[in-house]
Amino acid sequence: QQQVKQSPQSLIVQKGGISIINCAYENTAFDYFPWYQQFPGKGPALLIAIRPDVSEKKEGRFTISFNKSAKQFSLHIMDSQPGDSATYFCAASTNSGAGSYQLTFGKGTKLSVIP
């Protein structure tokens, strides 16, 4: 079974601080690594995504760092704001082999940003 392991399960950060969420994967065929943001009562929404041919991707305050050799990737939220309080899911997918075309999700991290 393909797995994406996500940590921590929950995270509390002061306003203005840096939030870091980590994910690790096993399947070396994964070739797309998106992060989704989910607010209570809503469906997940794509936040940012990376392909394994780059080591970092930045969009505003959100950055994905990718370490192909370690099979790990992480989401960094700079200058965290109370409006960033949500559940974040990492995911991975591949176009080949078992489970192709499917997104495999981590179990989620509930982020709370306190004023």
Partner 1 sequence: NAGVTQTPKFQVLKTGQSMTLQCAQDMNHNSMYWYRQDPGMGLRLIYYSASEGTTDKGEVPNGYNVSRLNKREFSLRLESAAPSQTSVYFCASRQQVFSNQPQHFGDGTRLSIL
Q: Does 69 bind partner 1 (CB under 8 A)?
A: no
**Smallest distance from partner 1 to CB 6, Å:** 8
Residue 52 engages partner 1 in binding (rule: CB under 8 A): no
Q: How many residues bind partner 1 (CB under 8 A)?
A: 26
Q: Where are the beta strands (DSSP E) in 1-115?
A: 4-7, 10-14, 19-25, 33-38, 45-50, 56-59, 62-67, 72-77, 86-92, 104-105, 109-114
When asked if residue 42 is in the footprint of partner 1 (CB under 8 A), the reply is yes
Of 17 and 85, nearer to partner 1 (C-beta) is 85
- When asked if residue 51 is in the footprint of partner 1 (CB under 8 A), the reply is yes
Residue 37 touching partner 1 (CB under 8 A): no
Find the binding residues for partner 1 in span 85-114 (CB under 8 A): 89, 93-95, 100-103, 105-108
- 115 near partner 1, rule: CB under 8 A: no
Give the Cα separation of 100 and 77 in Å (integer).
30
Sorted by sequence, the CB contacts under 8 Å of residue 42 that are 6+ apart come out as none
Name which of 20, 16, 42, 48 is nearest 113 in CA terms.
Answer: 16
